Amino acid sequence: MRSLIALGIVLSVTVSGIVALALLLGSVGSDAEDAGGIEREPLTIVTTDGEVARLQVEVAETPEERSVGLSGREEVPDDTGMLFIIPNRGAGFWMKDTLVPLSVAFLARCGEIVEIQDMEPLSLDIHQADAEYSFGLETPLGWFRDNGIEVGDLVSIPRGYRPDGC
């Protein structure tokens, strides 16, 4: 009987240890997968020559998310960026409180790039496209140039944000 009780205690301690280890490993895996808790979606850009470039982007959909954007960040990793969903054309983009230089592509309703501009950190200059746009795509400074992306190239807007008919 004592050996059955002892076996029960050992099993109980072992199961508790396994559960604790699984929880610890699960949280470690989540942090690595989240890259610091930042959720990103894949985005593909196809040039007029058929070349493909890929980014992982955060999506700024709400007024609050659009207002904050990438401000306060000390870095924006290579091949990442932020896609701004712009339901109504506003004043444009500025770099107040943004610590890193960025490039912005203005995207028409179905994802065609209509203009690309470079933006300097902490500047109050307003960046606006002449053409109508429904999205803005911010990346580290020079990313579009370095990847051969130009006006006229096509950004695949993620499902759920893509307007009907695109």
Considering the domain architecture, whether residues 56 and 133 belong to the same structural domain is answered as yes
Strands (E), the chain: 41-46, 52-60, 80-85, 102-107, 113-119, 135-140, 154-155
Domain coverage including residue 18: 1-37
Confidence of residue 37 (pLDDT cuts 50, 70, 90): confident
Residue 38, pLDDT score: 86
Confidence of residue 91 (pLDDT cuts 50, 70, 90): confident
Report pTM: 0.78
pLDDT single digits (tens) 12-28: 433 333 222 222 222 22
Q: 11 CB contacts (<8 Å, ≥6 apart)?
A: none
Considering the domain architecture, whether residues 31 and 48 belong to the same structural domain is answered as no
Considering the domain architecture, whether residues 52 and 124 belong to the same structural domain is answered as yes
Considering the domain architecture, whether residues 27 and 108 belong to the same structural domain is answered as no
Give the whole-angstrom CA distance, residue 32 versus residue 157: 26
Our count of domains for the chain comes to 2
Is there a domain that residue 165 lies in? no
Considering the domain architecture, whether residues 74 and 16 belong to the same structural domain is answered as no
pLDDT single digits (tens) 99-131: 999 999 999 999 999 999 999 999 999 999 999
Confidence of residue 90 (pLDDT cuts 50, 70, 90): confident
For residue 142, give both structure tokens. 């020079």
Considering the domain architecture, whether residues 10 and 84 belong to the same structural domain is answered as no
